[in-house]
Amino acid sequence: MSAALETLAASGSIGGSINTVGFGLAAIGPGIGVGIVFGNGVQAMARQPEAAGLIRTNMLLGFAVIEALALMGFVLAFAIS
């Protein structure tokens, strides 16, 4: 199997940019962040249902900030190449 991969790599048929791999690794952070924000938001709403509106607003703002960082990383991954 490794001989076949070496042959493909030597012939130049495998190509790509390390930027896309970097973005794939960088996308792990926002994914974890979104999970933490929504997990803690739902837990907070379950503990204090009367504050659900304020919690939901703050939860969505946090989500927007996290996703903005992920989108900036996505743009930079292709802009640098």
Whether 16 has a pLDDT exceeding 70, the answer reads no
Q: What is the pLDDT of residue 10?
A: 61
Please give the Cα distance from 11 to 34 (Å, whole number): 41
Q: What is the pLDDT of residue 14?
A: 54
Please give the Cα distance from 52 to 44 (Å, whole number): 8
- What average pLDDT score do residues 52-81 get? 87
